[in-house]
Structure 1
Amino acid sequence: MWEISLEKSKEINMLVGYSRTSTTEQVAGLEAQDRDLRATGCTKLFSEQVSSVAQRAQLSAALDFVREGDTLVVTRLDRLARSTADLLAIIDMLEQKGVALRILDFGGQAVDTKSPSGKLIVTMFGAVAQFERELLLQRQREGIAKAKADGKYRGRSPTALRQSAKVLEMKARGAKPTAIAASLNVSRASVYRILAEARTA
């Protein structure tokens, strides 16, 4: 999405930062990452607000920019890789270019793949996280299949719809739609829709 350059010329052994948030609403989170990366000594930053499953243009730009001796720095592993396979591919690409990966917050400490132990820790953590995600998804699939077989599965009802009674109750007490939405953690559009449906019922 954009690139922040703090120095004009390419230096040897640069610290190159990459920051990302999943949506355009997380501006504060992106700014916090950029601040931490600058504090670490990054002299060039690549930043973007995009889902990890979408095309990450600035990550590609960062990987293309780094040269031998450089270190790519991220605040957390989940800002960089979407899966273990993705992580290993990125690490392999960096290794081929002679570039290290540094993660500032990795279980409360910084980890750098320049050391064999750092690389092992990052790879193992990524593999475990991926395994846990796959295990959770498998359990969810099995649970849904059993519920369907037992005739108990109805799917998820919308969050706001489940709270229709509360919306109407708060409105009857004089609460404004904005206040109702904030109180119940639903969108104002959902509140207006519930109120409109109640009027036409």
Structure 2
Amino acid sequence: MLVGYMRVSKADGSQSLDLQRDALLAAGVGADAIYEDQASGKLADRPGLAACLKACRKGDVLVTWKLDRLGRSLAHLVETVTVLNDRGIGLKVLTGQGAEIDTTTASGRLVFGIFASLAEFERELIRERTMAGLSAARARGRKGGRKFALTKAQVRLAQAAMANRDTSVSDLARELGIKPTTLYRYVGPTGELRENGQRVLNARAKRSSAPNRP
């Protein structure tokens, strides 16, 4: 199934989605499978994109007019492409500099692999900088580490809620007191655990199983 996503930066009516909609329809995307946002690409909270990613299932292909309609930054774009790849969802870009990306073809999968490599490279750089920062902090007598934004119960709640296709990501994040981008660090679009969510559950499990000391 083809699922389309389109976006314009302004919601005041000065920009039209017609060009993108026509291109998606011409590419074979059904009118009822097109999601949209009228907001700056720099905003983290884009309900249309969240709903689009949530609706995609394994074997689907996400179609967008240009690559910059999808990602608000290189880091966000790499993260999104990697998540799609992990879920078995294809990506097809119709025009612009990313028009060579079509993961339903061999050459497109090669480009997709480059994105995955970039994501891995970026994560490794972040890890190295974090470890260096923690080492420097310990050398000065300080303990590093950031508190988790969600508790174990909240992670379980988020899992159950995200597994329901009717759940609004924005409403769920608001109920939990966090941003949608933070929520996605703990739980994926279909309720699967992400790294932070797994760490919360593991950390609390270790505490509960530790022997009591007098």
Counterpart in 1 of 2:25?
A: 38
Looking at structure 2, the residues matched to 29 and 110 of structure 1 have their Cα atoms a distance apart, in angstroms, of 25
Distance of aligned partners of 1:47 and 1:120 in 2 relative to their CA distance in 1, 3 Å threshold:
same
Looking at structure 1, the residues matched to 118 and 18 of structure 2 have their Cα atoms a distance apart, in angstroms, of 26
Looking at structure 2, the residues matched to 116 and 108 of structure 1 have their Cα atoms a distance apart, in angstroms, of 13
Looking at structure 2, the residues matched to 35 and 27 of structure 1 have their Cα atoms a distance apart, in angstroms, of 18
Q: Which amino acid aligns with 2:42?
A: V
More strand by share: 1
Give the C-alpha shift of residue 19 in structure 1: 0.3
The question of whether the paired residues in 1 share the 8 Å contact of 2:78 and 2:118 is answered with no
Q: TM-score, normalised by structure 2?
A: 0.47
Looking at structure 1, the residues matched to 72 and 84 of structure 2 have their Cα atoms a distance apart, in angstroms, of 16
Counterpart in 1 of 2:36?
A: 47
Give the C-alpha shift of residue 72 in structure 1: 0.4
Q: Which amino acid aligns with 1:60?
A: A
Distance of aligned partners of 1:93 and 1:121 in 2 relative to their CA distance in 1, 3 Å threshold:
closer
Counterpart in 1 of 2:71?
A: 81
How much identity, in percent, do the aligned residues show?
A: 35
5+ residue gaps, structure 1, are 1-13, 127-201
- Alignment RMSD, CA only? 2.5
Distance of aligned partners of 1:124 and 1:25 in 2 relative to their CA distance in 1, 3 Å threshold:
farther
How many pairs were matched up?
A: 113
The question of whether the paired residues in 2 share the 8 Å contact of 1:111 and 1:122 is answered with no
Give the C-alpha shift of residue 96 in structure 1: 1.9
The question of whether the paired residues in 1 share the 8 Å contact of 2:82 and 2:116 is answered with no
Give the C-alpha shift of residue 124 in structure 1: 9.1
Deviations 1:88-110 (A, max 9, x none): 11011111211011110133844
Secondary structure, in 3 states, of the residue corresponding to 1:47?
strand
Looking at structure 1, the residues matched to 87 and 21 of structure 2 have their Cα atoms a distance apart, in angstroms, of 24
2:47 paired residue among 46, 57, 69: 57
Give the C-alpha shift of residue 52 in structure 1: 1.2
